[in-house]
């Protein structure tokens, strides 16, 4: 029974304790009898979602965590953390040190168990984010980005876009200043007067999704792996529980970021948004190409 003390001692389900052959819910301690004379040893640690009553009749306080104690008559009860301290004194402290790693693992264990039980729902939600965050699915956004970078436009048009659209999607164009503007600058005794100025001509929203898409792929990969790795923790070794619990810490944040990528990708690939790129071009046939490209997303 003790070949793996972690599995033997850490109990997260009250039913498991009730099923123990020597378990009794309450021990009545006679008047004048000392509790210390009734209790023998601490033999396990429990952590529940719900609260359960301490087995010492005069206490009866509800606890979420505490210990399984054996009695001198061979029966077992559960006692709360405070009663453990009170009745076992110094030996309790020694026991708690022994149980320390279990306490540290208990929360991780419960967390993984909850995730394991929710796994079908988690997977469903993940699929929903990938496929129903907007008109385009994750895969369609990925392909649209690849197409935008490689095939959709010819080399020179792509180069022009790379040069003149900021990473956040702002389109600035150099235009000639009017005679009046230059005259005004001269009057202000400005040095190094240029004959052109940069004017904001457009803002392609969520343009940064293109440059940052590799991060979206990383996030998707995180969930593909994680959901394969989540198992019932009673089938996992201590080290695997630790590693999995560490990964799980990023779960909610990563899910939010992945959803953001899917939503922003959908905001990026719309005709109204992409058609703004046409201002970069002066030739009618180039403007036509942009128009045609943007309208693919109608």
> CB 234 → Zn ion: shortest distance, Å?
28
> CB 52 → Zn ion: shortest distance, Å?
11
- Provide the terminal-to-terminal Cα distance of the chain, rounded to the nearest Å: 65
Q: Which segments within 101-223 are labelled E, that is strand?
A: 170-176, 196-203
How far apart are alpha carbons 255 and 18 in whole angstroms? 38
Q: State how far the alpha carbon of 4 is from the alpha carbons of 1, 7, 10, 46, 234, in Å.
A: 7, 6, 10, 16, 11
Contact yes or no for 293/153 (Cβ under 8 A): yes
Quick one: 57 or 111, whose CB is closer to Zn ion? 57
Quick one: 58 or 168, whose CB is closer to Zn ion? 58
Enter the DSSP assignment of 165: B
For residue 139, count other CB atoms closer than 10 A to its CB: 11
Contact yes or no for 287/229 (Cβ under 8 A): no
> CB 31 → Zn ion: shortest distance, Å?
18
Enter the DSSP assignment of 130: H
> CB 63 → Zn ion: shortest distance, Å?
7
Q: Which residues bind Zn ion (CB under 5 A)?
A: 54, 56, 59, 61, 80, 83
3-state secondary structure of 147: helix
> CB 30 → Zn ion: shortest distance, Å?
17
Quick one: 59 or 219, whose CB is closer to Zn ion? 59
Quick one: 63 or 113, whose CB is closer to Zn ion? 63
Quick one: 92 or 207, whose CB is closer to Zn ion? 92
């Amino acid at each position: 029974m003790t070949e793996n003390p972690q599995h033997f001692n850490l109990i997260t389900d009250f039913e498991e304790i009730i099923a123990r052959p020597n378990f009794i819910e309450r021990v009545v301690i006679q008047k004048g009898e000392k509790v210390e004379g009734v209790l023998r040893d601490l033999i396990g640690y429990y952590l529940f979602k719900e609260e359960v009553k301490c087995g010492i009749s005069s206490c009866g306080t509800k606890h979420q965590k505490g210990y399984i104690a054996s009695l001198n008559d061979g029966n077992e009860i559960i006692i709360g953390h405070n009663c453990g301290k009170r009745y076992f004194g110094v030996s309790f402290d020694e026991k708690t040190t022994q149980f320390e790693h279990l306490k540290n693992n208990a929360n991780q264990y419960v967390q993984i168990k909850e995730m394991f039980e929710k796994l079908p729902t988690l997977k469903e939600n993940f699929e929903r984010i990938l496929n129903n965050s907007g008109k385009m699915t994750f895969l369609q956004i990925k392909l649209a980005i690849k197409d935008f970078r490689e095939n959709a436009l010819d080399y020179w048009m792509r180069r022009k876009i790379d040069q003149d659209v900021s990473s956040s999607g702002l389109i600035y164009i150099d235009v000639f200043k009017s005679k009046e503007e230059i005259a005004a600058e001269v009057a202000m005794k400005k040095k190094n007067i240029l004959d052109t100025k940069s004017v904001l001509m457009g803002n392609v929203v969520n343009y940064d999704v293109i440059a940052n898409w590799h991060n979206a792929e990383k996030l998707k990969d995180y969930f593909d792996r994680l959901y394969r790795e989540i198992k019932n923790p009673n089938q996992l070794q201590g080290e695997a529980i630790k590693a999995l619990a560490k990964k799980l810490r990023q779960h909610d944040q990563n899910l939010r970021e992945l959803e953001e990528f899917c939503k922003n990708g959908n905001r990026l690939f719309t005709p109204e948004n992409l058609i703004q790129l046409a201002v970069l071009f002066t030739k009618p046939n180039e403007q036509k190409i942009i128009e045609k490209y943007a309208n693919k997303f109608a």
